[in-house]
Structure 1
Amino acid sequence: MNPLDDLDEAVMAVRAAWESAETAGDVPRERLVAVNDALGSVRRRVDAVLAEVAARIAAESRKELGPQGLAKQHGYRTPAMLIASATGASTGEANRFVTVGTATAPRTSLFGERLPAKYPAVRDASRTGALSVPASAAIISLLDRVRLKVSEERVVQAEQVLATQASGMSMDEVRKLLTRAEAWLDPDGVEPREAQARADRSLQMFERDGMLHLTLQTDVASGAPVKAAIEGYVSAQFASRKNAARVTDAEGAVEGDTRTVTQMRADALTLFAEHVLGCQHDDLPLAGATVVVRVDLDDLEAGTGIARIDGVTAPVSIATARRLAADGGVIPWVCGPEGDILDWGRQRRLFTRPQKLALTERDGGCAMCGLPPAMSHVHHIRWWERDAGPTDLDNGVLLCSTCHHLIHDNEWDVRVEGTGIHGRVWFLPPATADPERTPRPAANRRFEHVA
């Protein structure tokens, strides 16, 4: 059967899906999905034809032909380079077309006998537009890996199941399917693969353009708690955002959280690291790890200039230095004009666990947005450095990292009526947001009846 016949059918399906549109750019909304599906089918079928052509180009460019090979006759060193030049794909993508086309094309034995394709089920699924070339390549790669470990009958069975199951899936879904399929086909290989993944684990850190870049890869077992912790934080942030949306400004709602999911993940990692640095447990193998911020006293008082963090090349603003100086596990090194050390910071400035428990009784979590206590830390109402605020219950309030930054960066004020755990917390917005600076109650009191 000519593969172009299937392609003609797919093109006709696009025409049928598009037939009610007056112009090419005016597809009715109710037909957009049908047009999208039809175009996806056309693309997959075109790629299937290209894979067959790529396999033939590779066969006509094999090494034994030397300078007479098709690719070299046209000025290309490899068939992949010839294919990539015509399609605009990368050489890696072109090699993928060759792999799929070769594995799904009819074969010839050493004696010249015609043999069926190595993977006929994958060929049929790609020709009908049910399977993309990247998905076909991933299935072929898996089946090639397990051929020496399982019987031919099992490989045939797996090919048929995967070609059917992966049809219509996105590439991300196909990868998940193949991960489970490999464990099903080769259960004895799971443990060695885990050992190799652990051996290949790494975390790269480097600075570029004023940003710290982290690239982590690790085995799934080691990465599971990292993923669970970060996703738990993100879920809590969205729950807090949803709850805040129910409160009108008149009832004391704080400014909306507009962070993206990726920004929340970055904030989660920062929050967890700050928490660890502030822990008092002796069994944490941190070797005295501390974030040291170096800043000139005159700059700190004037709010101008820059500060530096030990171990980090890029400087930070004075506003950031002030914020860091209020966080747990961070020691400000304030220098006078001659560079003499005026204050190495005091670990006594950190609130103790009993103090946080007492403030939790009063605030119930972040006093500003309502996040749970586990995601909040104690903030000095009168700042430790700027205002020489003491570390006692009357000067403490629970805040999450986001609200802590909001207080520092946007000139919010915090007031407490009463003393100890019986105090009542109020937030005063900046005059730029509310000229009257109307006090807003803490999150756990927003739904109380206030006389």
Structure 2
Amino acid sequence: MTEHLTPLDDAITRLRAAWSDAHDATELTRQQLIETNDALGAVRRLTEALQSEVAAGIASESRASLGPDSLAKQQGYRNASQLIATTTGMSTAEASRHVKVGEATAPRSDLTGARLPAKYPAVQRALQAGEIGTSAASLIISLLDRVRLKVTPEHLAAAEELLAEKAMNLSTDDVRKLLTRAEAWLDPDGVAPREEEVRAKRSVTMFERDGAFHLNAVLDAESGAAIRAAIAGYVSAQFAARKDAIDPDAVDADHRTVPQLQADALSVLCAHALGCDTDAPALAGATVIVRVDLDDLIDGTGYGSVDGFEQPISIGAVRRMAASGGVIPCVLGTDSEILDWGRRKRFFTPSQRLALAERDGGCAMCGLPPNMTRAHHIRWWRRDTGPTDLENGVLLCETCHHRIHDNGWDIRVDGTGVAARVWFIPPPDVDTARTPRLGGLARYTLAA
């Protein structure tokens, strides 16, 4: 077996050990299930990396310049992607992705035949080590290709190293969040053009069919932020009322699903806008939070962000939104409010909660948006006499809050203020080494 296949051989050995003597997965213990899942993940990532290498080789041997000597044509296929898709059972799009990743991470040669490093060597190393899969690699490569002419080679190489490292242990969905932030970081001047492109596609379509009214909306972040905040506030208020109900299992109890609640919220808000003279319906303190660095706001450069939206917004959009009602502009870099109350107050103040939202981005453990979380003391107020300070606070959704307390997880905060990092430390039965897992926005934040 070649040295190149050693990591895959090791992963298969781990898989055999984890599966042990069980006939099928139903006989595996919980620990074996976790170990088997981890080993399968490693096998999958490593086989995908090898598949991409082979795909790049097939594509090279099937290039159009070879004419009838093209490998794909000799095998009876139109091109390399069709050959790979048909013989492996994957889709043509997936085969094309393997070719793209393989070509971007394969060694190259100059005109004299001398070997050159891969176009993206850091991604190549992460792939070959089984640290990331081809889905993550493809997303990183696409981003680097888009910005490579807009940044210096040194900046591009540093970004590649950082992204390959940050993408480890992230789902593909989380890698997309990471790269959305990374693109704004690498190409801040491109935020406004991309924003305008999305804005140009905004639309609302309405029609009736089969007795139902259908509403489809596509909005940019600036237009959609207030709508999202208002609907989310209504839903949060309804959940709070449901939680306080005397008998949640009563026949007339509220059993609406989240989509149903959101539909009702839109109806209530529109009915209010049509002429209700009373105050707006309870929205559980719904606000739109727009954040921006002070220097960027002053200079008119960089970009900002809005709670609940992954896509950054331009400085122009920040200024327009900050001038609107119901929008709180959170300018980072100032200390105009007291954020640490020690033991003088038991409950976190609105300003502290906003600061925690800046640090954690929502539930620091699972990533649910801020409106679905509560501020909790890490060291309990009564039991541990924990202070009501930022360094002793964390935003958690109800589910993660129970998970922390019921299953023995610990939380550690390193640093101070909104730049601090939140770490979740698993109990020994989850990880015998108790290796801390990074939480909050730091999972997706890139250093400038």
Indicate the TM-score class for this superposition, using the shorter chain for normalisation.
Answer: 0.5 to 0.7
Alignment of 1:88-103 (within 5 A): 88-103=89-104
Q: Which residue of 2 aligns with 1:328?
A: none
Q: Which residue of 1 aligns with 2:416?
A: none
Query: Are the equivalent residues in 1 in contact too, given 2:248–2:254 (CA < 8 A)?
Result: no
2:260 pairs with 1:270: no
Q: Which runs of 5+ in 1 are unaligned?
A: 281-351, 366-370, 376-451
- Rate the CA distance shift 1:258–1:74 in 2: closer, same or farther, 3 A: farther
TM-score scaled by length of structure 2: 0.58
Instruction: Out of 203-212 and 95-104, give the one that drifted further.
Output: 203-212
In the alignment, the residues of structure 2 paired with residue 213 and residue 264 of structure 1 have an alpha-carbon distance, to the nearest angstrom, of 16
By how many angstroms is 1:22 displaced? 5.0
- Rate the CA distance shift 1:116–1:248 in 2: closer, same or farther, 3 A: closer
By how many angstroms is 1:9 displaced? 1.3
Q: Which residue of 2 aligns with 1:228?
A: 229
By how many angstroms is 1:95 displaced? 0.9
Q: Which residue of 2 aligns with 1:247?
A: 247
Q: Which residue of 1 aligns with 2:86?
A: 85
Alignment of 1:9-408 (within 5 A): 9-19=10-20, 21-205=22-206, 212-244=213-245, 246-247=246-247, 253=250, 255-276=252-273, 279-280=274-275, 353=277
By how many angstroms is 1:7 displaced? 1.4
In the alignment, the residues of structure 1 paired with residue 152 and residue 234 of structure 2 have an alpha-carbon distance, to the nearest angstrom, of 46
SS in 2 for 1:25: helix
In the alignment, the residues of structure 2 paired with residue 373 and residue 181 of structure 1 have an alpha-carbon distance, to the nearest angstrom, of 32
Query: Are the equivalent residues in 1 in contact too, given 2:234–2:284 (CA < 8 A)?
Result: no
- Rate the CA distance shift 1:53–1:214 in 2: closer, same or farther, 3 A: farther
Q: Which residue of 1 aligns with 2:426?
A: none
- Rate the CA distance shift 1:98–1:2 in 2: closer, same or farther, 3 A: farther
Query: Are the equivalent residues in 2 in contact too, given 1:21–1:28 (CA < 8 A)?
Result: no
Q: Which residue of 2 aligns with 1:293?
A: none
SS in 2 for 1:231: helix
By how many angstroms is 1:213 displaced? 4.6
Q: Deviations over 1:164-203 (max 9, x none)?
A: 0011101111111111111111122222222222122233
By how many angstroms is 1:134 displaced? 1.1
By how many angstroms is 1:209 displaced? 6.2
In the alignment, the residues of structure 2 paired with residue 270 and residue 234 of structure 1 have an alpha-carbon distance, to the nearest angstrom, of 12
Q: Deviations over 1:309-330 (max 9, x none)?
A: xxxxxxxxxxxxxxxxxxxxxx
Please tell me the residue identity of whatever aligns with 1:247: D
- Rate the CA distance shift 1:239–1:88 in 2: closer, same or farther, 3 A: farther
Q: Deviations over 1:298-354 (max 9, x none)?
A: xxxxxxxxxxxxxxxxxxxxxxxxxxxxxxxxxxxxxxxxxxxxxxxxxxxxxx63x
By how many angstroms is 1:80 displaced? 1.1
In the alignment, the residues of structure 1 paired with residue 221 and residue 102 of structure 2 have an alpha-carbon distance, to the nearest angstrom, of 33
- Rate the CA distance shift 1:239–1:147 in 2: closer, same or farther, 3 A: same
Query: Are the equivalent residues in 1 in contact too, given 2:247–2:253 (CA < 8 A)?
Result: no
In the alignment, the residues of structure 1 paired with residue 128 and residue 188 of structure 2 have an alpha-carbon distance, to the nearest angstrom, of 32
In the alignment, the residues of structure 2 paired with residue 40 and residue 33 of structure 1 have an alpha-carbon distance, to the nearest angstrom, of 11
- Rate the CA distance shift 1:9–1:232 in 2: closer, same or farther, 3 A: same
Rg bigger for which structure? 1
- Rate the CA distance shift 1:234–1:105 in 2: closer, same or farther, 3 A: same
- Rate the CA distance shift 1:102–1:374 in 2: closer, same or farther, 3 A: closer
Please tell me the residue identity of whatever aligns with 2:70: G
In the alignment, the residues of structure 2 paired with residue 184 and residue 374 of structure 1 have an alpha-carbon distance, to the nearest angstrom, of 31
Q: Deviations over 1:384-426 (max 9, x none)?
A: xxxxxxxxxxxxxxxxxxxxxxxxxxxxxxxxxxxxxxxxxxx
SS in 1 for 2:268: helix
In the alignment, the residues of structure 1 paired with residue 172 and residue 204 of structure 2 have an alpha-carbon distance, to the nearest angstrom, of 26
Q: Which residue of 2 aligns with 1:437?
A: none
- Rate the CA distance shift 1:248–1:210 in 2: closer, same or farther, 3 A: closer
By how many angstroms is 1:78 displaced? 1.8
Instruction: Out of 50-59 and 108-117, give the one that drifted further.
Output: 108-117
Please tell me the residue identity of whatever aligns with 2:268: L
By how many angstroms is 1:254 displaced? 5.4
- Rate the CA distance shift 1:205–1:42 in 2: closer, same or farther, 3 A: farther
By how many angstroms is 1:241 displaced? 2.2
- Rate the CA distance shift 1:207–1:372 in 2: closer, same or farther, 3 A: closer
In the alignment, the residues of structure 2 paired with residue 129 and residue 197 of structure 1 have an alpha-carbon distance, to the nearest angstrom, of 35
Please tell me the residue identity of whatever aligns with 2:57: R
- Rate the CA distance shift 1:265–1:83 in 2: closer, same or farther, 3 A: farther
In the alignment, the residues of structure 2 paired with residue 191 and residue 7 of structure 1 have an alpha-carbon distance, to the nearest angstrom, of 44
SS in 2 for 1:61: coil
Q: Which residue of 2 aligns with 1:321?
A: none
By how many angstroms is 1:112 displaced? 1.8
Query: Are the equivalent residues in 1 in contact too, given 2:208–2:214 (CA < 8 A)?
Result: yes
Count of residues in correspondence between the two structures: 285
SS in 1 for 2:244: helix
Query: Are the equivalent residues in 2 in contact too, given 1:58–1:98 (CA < 8 A)?
Result: yes
Please tell me the residue identity of whatever aligns with 2:253: G
Query: Are the equivalent residues in 2 in contact too, given 1:44–1:130 (CA < 8 A)?
Result: yes
In the alignment, the residues of structure 1 paired with residue 213 and residue 79 of structure 2 have an alpha-carbon distance, to the nearest angstrom, of 40
In the alignment, the residues of structure 2 paired with residue 200 and residue 48 of structure 1 have an alpha-carbon distance, to the nearest angstrom, of 37
Q: Deviations over 1:218-242 (max 9, x none)?
A: 2222221122222222222222222
In the alignment, the residues of structure 2 paired with residue 154 and residue 187 of structure 1 have an alpha-carbon distance, to the nearest angstrom, of 14
In the alignment, the residues of structure 2 paired with residue 36 and residue 209 of structure 1 have an alpha-carbon distance, to the nearest angstrom, of 45
| Identity across the alignment (%) | 54
